Amino acid sequence: MFQIPDLALKAFAVIGALVVIRFVLQVLSGIWSWLFAPSFNYKRFQGKWAVVTGASDGLGAGFARNLARRGVNVVLLARTTSKLDAIVKEINDQGKAKAKAIQFDFSSTDAKYWEEKVKQLLEVQPDVLINNVGINVEFPTPFVDVPADFYDKMVQVNINTANRLTRFLLPGMLERKRGAVVFLSSGLGFMPGGLLSVYGATKAYALTLAVNLQQELAGTGVIVQCYAPGLVQSLMSKVPCYCL
C-alpha cells in the first residue's frame, strides 16, 4: 500500500496552516477596518458636490436636505422632475449650498443613456455618492406571485445602479484622495423577510458590497458607509409614521 512520506505530510500540514492563518488574518482585517472606519466629516466636503439617487422623496430627499444644510452642494437624481425641482428650489432658497436636478430613469439598461447621464454628473466632480434609490413590491407578496420581469427591474434599480454609479464616480474620488460612498441597506439585509425576499436580498448585497469596499479603500482618502434603517415613512414603505 502506497504511503505518503512523513516529509510530504509535514509540508502539507505547513501549507494548510498558512492558508488558514491567511484566511483568519483577512477576516480580522475586515472586522478591524469595519469597526474603526472613519466617520463622515461634513466639513471635509463643504463646497463640494454630492450625488443623491432617489432624491425626490423619503430618505433620498432627507439626505439631500441634510447635506445642503451642512454646506455640501447636491445633485438630485430621480424620475419625477416636478418633485426634484421643488426640492432644488427649497435648497437654493436657503442659500447654504447649491442644488441641481437631473432626471434619471434608473431602470434603463441603455448604455448610451447611462453614458449621457454620467457625463453630466462628472462635470461637477462629485466627492460624495449616496446610493439610496430602490424599489420594492407594492405589498408583501409570495415570491412565486411576483412577475419575473419585475425582479429583473428590482435588481437593475437596487443593485446595478449602485454598481454603475460607484464604478463611474469612484475613480475621480481616488484621484482627488477625497470622497465618501454611502449605500442604503435595510434591516431586511441581515434578517429574514419572507414575502419581501428579493428586496431583502438586494439590501444584503448593498451591505456586503459596502463592507468589502470599505476594507479595499482603507487609506485612500475615500470612506464607505452603509446604513440599514428599519421602517421609515416613504411612498415605497407606505408607513404612516416614522418607526425605528
Whether pLDDT at 244 is above 50:
no
- 113 in catalytic set: no
Average pLDDT, stretch 89-98? 97
From 42, 199, 205, 242, active-site residue: 199
Q: What percent of the chain has pLDDT over 90?
A: 73
Strand, coil or helix: what is 155?
Answer: helix
pLDDT per residue over 26-43, tens digit each?
Answer: 667 656 655 666 677 889
Is 234 or 193 the better-scoring residue by pLDDT?
Answer: 193
Residue 66's pLDDT band (boundaries 50, 70, 90)?
A: very high
- Predicted pLDDT at 36: 62
Whether pLDDT at 97 is above 80:
yes
- Predicted pLDDT at 112: 97
**What is the CATH number assigned to the segment(s) 39-227?**
3.40.50.720
Whether pLDDT at 208 is above 50:
yes
pLDDT per residue over 6-17, tens digit each?
Answer: 777 678 778 888
Average pLDDT, stretch 55-68? 96
pLDDT per residue over 111-126, tens digit each?
Answer: 999 999 999 999 999 9
- Residue 199 to residue 80: CA distance in whole angstroms: 22
- Predicted pLDDT at 159: 98
Q: What integer best gives the mean pLDDT of the chain?
A: 90
Whether pLDDT at 146 is above 50:
yes
pLDDT per residue over 178-187, tens digit each?
Answer: 999 999 999 9
